[in-house]
Amino acid sequence: MYDAIIVDDEPRTRQALIKSVDWKKCNIRHIYEASNITDARAQLLEKKIDVLICDIEMPGGTGQELVEWIRGRNMMMGVIMVTCHPEFSYVQKAIRQGCYDYILKPIDYEEFSRTLHDMTGKMEYYDDHTDTMRNQDGSINWGNLDYSRKSESRMEGQLQEMRQVSGKRNVEKEVKQYVRNHLADDLNVTRIAEIMHFNPQYLTRAFKVETNQGILEYITTERIEAAK
């Protein structure tokens, strides 16, 4: 079992993640929280933490700066980036830093759980082979640690596919039109995806790529405007 830390400047995001995942099934024993990289660094120096779940853009420093700091100290740690920014440059850097995966907000908790479970399983294997991963000076040879789940080309392809399908179908326009016409209804992503013949997780990500906003966030904004 491992200990994990969630680093995100949004308390609601941290709490939602904590409450929505069966951590024990993902081999996580204890969860720590930090709202910025300064707090995260202090906890990482003080405690034995094995898993980092980190937002990218936060006040006072980025998640990628935190990972660079961790790698510079040869800390053996599995890393999952969680962000609302579907930018390939971010994906590329995360993979080069040895991050296991890059998950877009709003988080699909089932997908996140599968990813975390896969990563901790791989970590268990490397825990049994740590000595073979060290250089002569005792530092860890990160090039031999295949902690990264996705290749750059695969992630780039996924992002491009979302943009292409979104462009052909004009997902942003279709979603916004449906929401505006059904504000009084019980709206949810699953229902909208069913109407538009999309997978709910795919629709959520495609809309996020086009608008940099979640569908539920957009629904809330439209209802507030209508109430005004």
In terms of domains, do 72 and 133 share one? Answer: yes
Q: Identify the domain containing residue 164 by its residue range.
A: 158-227
In terms of domains, do 95 and 204 share one? Answer: no
Residue 61: give its domain's CATH number: 3.40.50.2300
In terms of domains, do 68 and 144 share one? Answer: yes
**Tens digit of each residue's pLDDT (9 = 90 or more) over 207-218:** 877 787 888 889
DSSP one-letter string for 177-209:
HHHHHTTTS---HHHHHHHHT--HHHHHHHHHH
* CA end-to-end span of the chain: 50
In terms of domains, do 120 and 216 share one? Answer: no
**Tens digit of each residue's pLDDT (9 = 90 or more) over 85-98:** 666 677 777 777 77
In terms of domains, do 117 and 190 share one? Answer: no
**Tens digit of each residue's pLDDT (9 = 90 or more) over 47-106:** 999 999 999 888 889 999 999 999 889 888 889 988 876 666 777 777 777 788 888 777
Last residue of a domain, one of 150, 185, 214: 150
Residue 138 has pLDDT above 90, yes or no: no
pLDDT band at 107 (very low <50, low <70, confident <90, very high): confident
Percent with pLDDT over 90 in the chain: 32
| Letter string b/e over residues 64-74, b meaning 16 or more CB atoms within 10 A of that residue's CB | bebbeebeeee
d(CA 202, CA 150): 18
Range list of H helices, the chain: 11-20, 37-46, 63-72, 88-96, 109-127, 152-169, 171-181, 189-196, 200-211, 215-227
Q: Token pair of 145, please?
A: 């640690």
Contact 109, 84 (CB under 8 A): no
In terms of domains, do 179 and 95 share one? Answer: no
**Tens digit of each residue's pLDDT (9 = 90 or more) over 155-193:** 566 566 555 555 556 888 889 999 999 988 888 888 888
The reply to whether the predicted model has a pTM over 0.85 is no
**Residue carrying structure tokens 């250089």:** 135
Neighbours of 202 (CB within 10 A): 16
Contact 47, 29 (CB under 8 A): no
Last residue of a domain, one of 115, 150, 185: 150
**Tens digit of each residue's pLDDT (9 = 90 or more) over 110-129:** 889 988 998 898 888 777 76
State the pLDDT at residue 195: 85
In terms of domains, do 35 and 113 share one? Answer: yes
